[in-house]
Amino acid sequence: MPVRGGRGDADGAGLTMAQQGVEASYKRMVQSVGMALKAHGYRKSGTRFRLDRVGNLALVAFQRSTTSDAVTIRFTVNIGVVSGELLRRWDPDQDIAKVSVQSAHLWKRLGDFLPDPRDHWWEINSSSDISPLEAEIVAVLESKVVPFLDTHLSDAALLALWKAGSSPGLTDGQRIRNIAELEQALAAG
C-alpha cells in the first residue's frame, strides 16, 4: 500500500502494517517520555513538552530527521529555556505559549547529557525494541535534563550562566546582547 502525504495520515491510513508499527512505536516512546515529564510538571503538546515557571518556559521537543522515511524514523530531542522577558523585548507580538525550542535563549540537545556528549540521533524501525530506548531517554531526562532546566529556568540563572561565559545554543554576540537586556530589565523591575 503506498504512503500518502509522506508520514501517512494521522489514523495510519495509507501506511503498510510495518510502517504503522514504526509510527506506533515512535508515538508510544513519546508517550512514555511524556508520562515521565508530566511527573515533573511538564505539559504535552504534540511531541513538545513545556513547563511554565517564573514567566519563563522550559521545553523538551522531539525532532524528526529529514532523512526519516516510511520504514525508519530518526529523531533527536532538543531542550531549551525561553526567557519571557527577553521574548517580550525582542518580539513583543510573540506568544510564549507558542514559541518553539528553536527560539530558546538556552538550547541544547539530549545527546549533550549522554556519557559521551555529542549530537545524537536515535532510530526506530520495524525490528526496534523501543523499551531500552524509552528507558535510556527517560533516565537521562530525569537524572540530568530536568535538573539542568530547573537550575536555568529563571532570568537570574540565565544571566549568571551568560556572565560566566557560557551560552549553549547562542552566539557570543547574542549572549552579550541578552546580558545587557536582562540586566536592564532586572534593574528596572
Q: What is the pLDDT of residues 38-73, one digit of tens each?
A: 999 999 999 999 999 989 999 999 999 999 998 999
Residue-averaged pLDDT of the chain: 89
Which residues, in sequence order, are CB contacts of 151 under 8 Å at separation 6+? 157
| pLDDT of 27 over the 90 cut | yes
What does the pLDDT look like over 66-124, one tens digit per residue? 999 989 999 999 999 999 999 998 888 888 888 999 989 999 999 999 999 999 999 99
pLDDT for 148: 98
Q: Is the pLDDT of residue 13 over 80?
A: no
The pLDDT, as a whole number, for residue 78 is 98
- Residue 14: predicted pLDDT: 57
- Cell digits for 75? 529523531
What confidence score (pLDDT) does residue 5 get? 36
**pLDDT for 6 beyond 80:** no
* pLDDT (0 to 100) of residue 3: 32
User: Which residues lie closer than 8 Å to 19 by C-beta, 6 or more apart?
Assistant: 3, 8, 70, 71
- The pLDDT of residue 11 is 47
- Given this model, what pLDDT does residue 90 score? 85
Strand partners, 57: 52, 82
**Threshold 0.85, pTM exceeds:** yes
